[in-house]
């Protein structure tokens, strides 16, 4: 995630005379990549790419902590005293599931005068891409960027019954958010309702229109909290509504930073809006953060680094980053407690601040590993090359497709981009047919194929995801199409009859689909070489009467197994219940005679009649 941090704002926390270019270089080498420096009105604005695991760094304070570790110095922490006043206002809070809200803090302010924010606040918000609204709303946005703590301000008088009920939404409930959009909620979104059951907040994402601060607001509820990050991310993704607040909540917010942020907001409200505290502090702690102590192993850290970093240097780096060291145990700071878990994480912290440029570049040592061939990849490449040279075009279709292209039990995406990308495909054929239909006016004959995964739902766990081969063609005769597939199987070294496939026809398009994973298991890299015989074969056609239900492959198998001198038995044509095969006889030791052929033919016909009741047409 990229964030914008003005150089002038950084100086609130990190006192320095370093140039913006020097700061950008230090951050890029030791912490986060500075993508660019934007020059604006005598200021420099850093665009910083913060890695996904570092939610603590999505703020001016977070980046300042990193600069302290890189360049040294001290952080000038902003602190505000606990504010007390008359206790005239009271808010009742009911949290139906404590796991949804680990911490809930709020205070009511009276005597609020809504106006524009001071110039410096408006300018700083504009520099980071946030539109100033008024002196109360701007405070919440300002402190989100300043400290990484999202917060919200309600018009206290608009909360019916002066009660907040925090619960999960029911499917189909509606809320109009501050951007004037009516949103239909899925089940399980964290929301706040007032005593009358009105939805007044889409928690962690955006407040509701019915509780917003406006020019007539006199009392404000300042509201600072921590939510279940997984719930916030799921809700934000399902609703397709990604806000700055949601992006921070879903990565985890500092539990210990809640009250300092609240009191700073109160202090700013007093200065910019003449506000006075008119309630007791509400601070509900439902789920305390897990305490973590990591046993530090300096030898392991050096092994990971590949260079010796002295114990004192490691300890000094960790302390600059806010870690506490108690004998051989390290305690992460509150803002890193969910992310630093083991000695490997400590090693990463020590090495990056120490400097990757100080780590020697050495080529890996040891024996060169023996590469094992992957049969699936080998046969996949073989199949693609074969089909390409036979005139088929390879396709790469989307994994997601529309409802008409899948089976009834197909897996549906909860938040599809469009209805045409709502289901995981259960076959490759429908999309291949669509490709042909889109190209039908450009070419009379079109042949395409695709080798890719499909997704078959299972009763439990992940779907079955076999690698399939789909082939489709327009303007090709049935026998040629079928023959191309049989030739491919032969090229793969698969014995005839081991893979059964069905050729289907729709809209003049022939298609077939094969489980390529199963085919690869039966395939062989060994090629049989039969030298050209110096003797001539005898060829003849056999037209057979075939009973209902007997398959061609059964007939062919019986014929080829009747005698070792049978060289080939190929399909020629079919009519009604008659089938004609071209059979050739060859003896590689001597010239085969008519008497030999007559003997073999007799054996073939006996086997066909006795085994599957197939007779020679008279």
Taking residues 438-453, what's their average pLDDT?
A: 88
Q: How far apart are the first and last CA of the chain?
A: 80
Domain(s) of CATH 3.50.40.10: residues in the chain: 92-285
What is the predicted pLDDT for the residue at 372? Answer: 63
What average pLDDT score do residues 487-496 get?
90
pLDDT at site 373: 65
Percentage of the chain beyond pLDDT 90 is: 80
What SS3 state is found at 575?
strand
Residue 532 has pLDDT above 90, yes or no: no
Beta strands in 475-577 (DSSP E): 504-506, 509-515, 538-545, 566-575
Averaged over 517-545, what is the pLDDT? 89
Residue 581 belongs to what H/E stretch? Answer: strand 578-585
Which is the CATH superfamily of the domain at 538-616?
Ferrodoxin-fold anticodon-binding domain (3.30.70.380)
Q: Are 565 and 600 in contact (CB under 8 A)?
A: yes
Q: Where in the chain is the domain with CATH 3.30.56.10?
A: 2-71, 294-358
pLDDT grade for 282, boundaries at 50, 70 and 90: very high
Q: Where does the pLDDT of residue 74 fall: very low under 50, low under 70, confident under 90, or very high at 90 and above?
A: confident
Q: Which CATH class is domain 294-358?
A: alpha beta
Greatest Cα pair distance in the chain: 120
All residues at 6 or more sequence positions from 11 whose CB lies less than 8 Å from its CB, including other chains: none
Q: Does the pLDDT of residue 522 top 80, yes or no?
A: yes
pLDDT tens for 558-567 read: 999 999 999 8
**Rounded average pLDDT over 391-417:** 92
The closest of 415, 33, 57 to 251, measured between CA atoms, is 57
Instruction: Please state whether beta strands 103-110 and 220-226 pair in parallel, antiparallel, or not at all (unpaired).
Output: antiparallel
pTM of the model as a whole: 0.70
- Check residue 531 and give its pLDDT: 80
Question: Which CATH number does 2-71 carry?
Answer: 3.30.56.10
- Out of 1.10.3980.10, 3.30.930.10, 3.30.420.40, 3.40.120.10, the CATH code matching 375-522 is 3.30.930.10
Closest CA to 192 of 230, 161, 238, 234: 161
Say whether 505 sits in a helix, a strand or coil.
strand
Tokens 């259960």, located at residue: 426
Sort strands 538-545 and 578-585 into parallel, antiparallel or unpaired.
antiparallel
Residue 364 has pLDDT above 70, yes or no: no
The kind and range of the H/E element at 488 are helix 478-491
Name the fold adopted by 92-285.
Phenylalanyl-tRNA Synthetase; Chain B, domain 3 (3.50.40)
Taken in order 550, 552, 554, 560, is the CA torsion positive or negative? positive
For 239-258, the pLDDT digits (tens) are: 989 999 999 999 999 999 99
Segments in 154-297 forming alpha helices (H)? 229-239, 244-249, 258-273
**Is the pLDDT assigned to residue 36 strictly greater than 80?**
yes
What integer pLDDT is reported at residue 371 of this predicted model?
67
Q: Measured on CA atoms in the order 211, 215, 217, 221, is the torsion positive or negative?
A: positive
Which helix (DSSP H) or strand (DSSP E) does residue 325 occupy?
Answer: strand 324-326
Mean pLDDT of the chain: 93
pLDDT above 70 for 481: yes
Percent of the chain with pLDDT over 70: 99
Q: Of 548, 524, 530, 525, nearest to 584 (Cα)? A: 530
Task: Give the phi and the psi of residue 562 in degrees, each rounded to 5.
Answer: -70, -35
pLDDT beyond 90 at 77: no
Closest CA to 384 of 396, 369, 397, 401: 396
**Residue pLDDT, tens place only, 114-161:** 999 999 999 999 999 999 999 999 999 999 999 999 999 999 999 999
């Amino acid at each position: 995630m990229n964030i914008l941090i003005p150089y002038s704002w950084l100086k609130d926390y990190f006192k320095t005379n370093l140039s913006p270019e020097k700061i950008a270089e230090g951050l890029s080498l030791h912490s986060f990549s500075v993508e660019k420096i934007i020059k604006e009105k005598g200021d420099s604005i850093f665009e910083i790419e913060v890695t996904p695991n570092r939610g603590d760094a999505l703020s001016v304070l977070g980046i300042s902590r990193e600069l302290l570790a890189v360049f040294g110095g001290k952080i000038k922490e902003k602190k505000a005293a606990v504010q007390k006043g008359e206790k005239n206002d009271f808010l009742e809070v009911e949290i139906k599931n404590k796991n949804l809200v680990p911490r809930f803090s709020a205070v009511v302010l009276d005597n609020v005068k809504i106006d524009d924010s001071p110039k410096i606040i408006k300018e700083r918000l504009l520099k980071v891409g946030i539109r100033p609204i008024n002196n109360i709303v701007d405070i919440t946005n300002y402190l989100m960027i300043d400290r990484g703590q999202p917060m919200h301000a309600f018009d206290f008088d608009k909360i019916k019954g002066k009660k907040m009920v925090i619960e999960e939404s029911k499917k189909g409930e509606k809320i109009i958010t501050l951007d004037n959009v009516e949103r239909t909620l899925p089940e399980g979104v964290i929301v706040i309702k007032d005593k009358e059951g009105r939805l007044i907040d889409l928690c962690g994402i955006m407040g509701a229109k019915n509780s917003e601060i406006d020019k007539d607001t006199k009392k404000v509820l300042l509201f600072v909290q921590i939510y279940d990050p997984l719930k916030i991310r799921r809700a934000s993704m399902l609703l397709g509504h990604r806000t700055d607040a949601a992006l921070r909540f879903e990565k985890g917010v500092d539990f210990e930073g809640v009250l300092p942020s609240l009191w700073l907001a109160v202090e700013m409200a007093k200065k910019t809006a003449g506000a006075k505290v008119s309630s007791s502090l509400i601070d509900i702690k439902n789920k305390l953060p897990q305490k973590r102590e990591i046993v530090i192993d300096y030898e392991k850290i050096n092994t990971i680094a590949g260079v010796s970093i002295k114990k004192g240097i490691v300890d000094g780096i960790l302390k600059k980053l806010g870690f506490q060291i108690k004998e051989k145990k390290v305690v992460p700071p509150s803002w890193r407690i969910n992310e630093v878990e083991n000695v490997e994480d400590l090693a990463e912290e020590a090495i990056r601040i120490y400097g990757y440029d100080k780590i020697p570049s050495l080529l890996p040592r040891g024996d060169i590993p023996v590469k094992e061939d992957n049969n699936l990849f080998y046969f996949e490449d073989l199949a693609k090359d074969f089909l390409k040279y036979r005139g088929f075009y390879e396709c790469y279709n989307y994994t997601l497709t529309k409802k008409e292209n899948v089976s009834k039990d197909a897996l549906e995406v909860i938040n599809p981009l469009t209805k045409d990308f709502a289901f995981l495909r259960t076959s490759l054929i429908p999309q291949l047919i669509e490709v042909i239909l889109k190209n039908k006016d450009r070419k009379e004959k079109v042949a395409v194929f695709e080798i890719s995964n499909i997704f078959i739902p299972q009763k439990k766990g992940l779907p079955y995801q076999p690698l399939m081969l789909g082939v489709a063609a327009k303007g090709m005769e049935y026998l040629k199409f079928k023959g191309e597939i049989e030739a491919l199987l032969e090229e793969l070294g698969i014995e005839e009859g081991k893979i059964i496939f069905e050729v289907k026809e729709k809209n003049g398009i022939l298609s077939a689909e094969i489980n390529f994973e199963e085919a690869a298991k039966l395939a062989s890299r060994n090629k049989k070489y039969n030298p050209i015989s110096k003797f001539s074969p005898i060829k003849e056609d056999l037209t057979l009467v075939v009973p209902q239900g007997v398959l061609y492959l059964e007939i062919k198998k019986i014929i080829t197994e009747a005698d070792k001198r049978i060289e080939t038995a190929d399909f020629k044509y079919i009519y009604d219940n008659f089938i004609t095969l071209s059979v050739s006889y060859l003896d590689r030791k001597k010239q085969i005679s008519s008497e030999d052929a007559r003997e073999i033919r007799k054996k073939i016909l006996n086997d066909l009649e006795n085994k599957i009741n197939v007779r020679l047409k008279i």
